[in-house]
Amino acid sequence: MGIWFGLACAFALFVLQCLAAPLLQLKGSSVAAREDGKTHDDLILAAKYLQRFYTFHPDPTTRKKRSLPSFSSKVKDMQSFFGLNQTGILDHDTLAVMKTPRCGVPDIEDYVHHRGNRWRKTIITYSVGRYTSDLPLAMVDSLIASALDVWAKASPLRFFRSYSQHADIMVEFATKNHGDSFPFDGPRGTLAHAFDPGEGIGGDVHFDDDEQWTASSTGFNLYLVAAHEFGHALGLRHSQNPESLMYPAYKIRKPHNLLSSEDIRNINALYGPSIQRHFYPRLSWNFPFNPWYTGSYFPMGLKDKCNPDLSFDSVTTLGEAIFFFKGRYLWIRHNNKNDIKEGPINNFMPNINSKIDAAYWVPQRSAAYLFSGSRYWTVKGSQVKGRDKNISSLGFPAWVKQIDAAVHIHKTVHTLFFTQHLYWRYNENQKTMEDSYPRNISEDFPGITKPINAAVHRNGFLHFFLGTEVYKYDIKLKKVVGISKAYSWLGC
């Protein structure tokens, strides 16, 4: 069933301010004469609409008329964009479109600061600040996550919920003047706006809280509006195609399969095609409910990533990202940058509710393996594949009850498992434990004498996490070549 969808606006930083005084000059002008039968309010509305969205400049008394595009030519531009008869006159159909709630971005100019503006990464954080009172908080979170999933499914982008005020995309509900120089206009009209990708306010999305936000066909459906807005926050412009999610006008739209082929081509032009094989959490729940959000919050002390006494239960690389597990909490650092994503593990992997003792990733399979006690899961995307298994299925003897650390050497077929003072070597191709193992850790890795909490292979070195310290180990030289603090791996 169709849902009335007011496609929300995406504000560019260069949107022209409406100047009310010059518009009033239209009252006795030739415009009014040519638009016989139209009310003064209609003419003022049309002039403001054209000024805001089609760079129309009312005729100032200090300049010659021929130096500026005419009112009629701008009406034709607007009619052309919306597929109307290009008469240059404010007919019924033209005024009807002008009175329809729509986006605040100009239709005939680039919305972004620079053509082709986009995020220079594929893992993007978002945070929800001020909420609307129209919906329960958990429902807002669910609808926002589902709207992001629309774009995640069609691209390599992955979105992570953050509770930081420095997330890439900050989502807020506000009214009238709300601190960004682009005030809302009350019920209907402009529903929301978003800024193109960039630092600071770049990528942020604001919803007009004077609207009635719903998860149904009444009022304005937050899921549908947000999906449009996030398109702008990712760098997309408006489309003239009524079937496109990025079409600027309010129209009926089904909640499923929102993206047109044009939308998919455009998001792929910015970020490339969808790559499902990588292990990054993917918001894949059906509208309107999304169990991605758990509503659980962890004490601030646990999330203090710059505590010098911080240690990790397990660490693993996943593509360009590194995942750090502590208790039931998770930090994600992407490509050595300081844009840390963090939250409860089950915010990212909903079926995992346990402390993770060890973890490793096999890129050839696009699969991660997470260990807790004597059980382990195989995870692809954010989904657990099959049932959990006992570690004995990997060839461990019955007396091994827990894996302390695991690391896969990407350039070989081997995974190393550490437990107490011993380690095993597992052949991932043959799926067998090698016969000459276990071996003593301190004998094969001189300098590593403490229990190993976690291990990763990165840039040709093994990195052993021993409590609050990380030992950088040269495999060829068989010695420790550096020591750092664990918390420094979170950019501290």
Domain extents for the chain?
17-98, 123-271, 314-490
pLDDT of 24 above 50 = no
pLDDT of 299 above 50 = no
Q: Please identify which of the residues 35, 109, 199, 229 carries the catalytic annotation.
A: 229
From the list 392, 457, 375, 450, the residue with the least C-alpha distance to 420 is 450
pTM higher than 0.95: no
Q: Which residues contact 375 (CB under 8 A, 6 or more apart)?
A: 388, 389, 390, 391
Q: What is the pLDDT of residues 149-188, one digit of tens each?
A: 999 999 999 898 887 788 899 999 999 999 887 888 889 8
pLDDT of 435 above 90 = no
3-state SS, residue 51: helix
User: Higher confidence at residue 195 or residue 251?
Assistant: 195
Q: What is the pLDDT of residues 213-222, one digit of tens each?
A: 988 888 888 9
Q: How far is CA 373 from CA 310, 355, 367, 408, in A?
A: 22, 9, 20, 19
**Which segments are annotated as binding site for Ca(2+)?**
134, 168, 185-186, 202, 204, 208-209, 211, 313, 357, 359, 406
pLDDT band at 404; cut points 50, 70, 90: very high
Topology match between the domains 123-271 and 314-490: no
Alpha helices by DSSP H, listed for 275-427, are 345-348
pLDDT of 391 above 60 = yes
Which long-range contacts (C-beta less than 8 Å, at least 24 apart) are formed by 130-138? 130/172, 130/173, 130/174, 130/209, 131/173, 132/173, 132/207, 132/209, 132/213, 133/209, 134/209, 134/212, 134/213, 134/214, 134/219, 135/213, 135/214, 135/215, 135/222, 137/295, 138/293, 138/295
pLDDT band at 112; cut points 50, 70, 90: very low
pLDDT band at 268; cut points 50, 70, 90: very high
Q: How far is CA 283 from CA 289, 349, 382, 383, 428, in A?
A: 12, 10, 8, 10, 29
Q: Is 229 a catalytic residue?
A: yes
Mean pLDDT score of the chain, rounded to an integer? 79
pLDDT band at 359; cut points 50, 70, 90: very high
CATH 3.40.390.10 fits 123-271, yes or no: yes
Within 13 Å of residue 117, how many CA atoms lie on the same side as its CB? 20
Among 293-307, 321-335, 451-465, which is the least confidently predicted range? 293-307
- Name the superfamily (CATH) of residues 314-490: Hemopexin-like domain (2.110.10.10)
Q: Mean of the pLDDT values across residues 306-327? A: 86
Q: What per-residue confidence (pLDDT) applies to 357? A: 93
Other beta carbons within 10 angstroms of residue 484's beta carbon come to 12
Q: Mean of the pLDDT values across residues 25-32? A: 43
Query: What's the rounded Cα separation, in Å, for the pair 140 and 133?
Result: 10
Q: What is the pLDDT of residues 53-108, one digit of tens each?
A: 787 876 555 444 444 568 898 999 889 888 999 999 999 999 999 888 887 777 77
**Which residue is associated with the tokens 């008469």?**
87
Query: What's the rounded Cα separation, in Å, for the pair 397 and 109?
Result: 67
**Which segments are annotated as binding site?**
103, 134, 168, 178, 180, 185-186, 193, 202, 204, 206, 208-209, 211, 228, 232, 238, 246, 313, 357, 359, 406
Q: How distant is the alpha carbon of residue 246 from its chain centre?
A: 17
Other beta carbons within 10 angstroms of residue 477's beta carbon come to 9
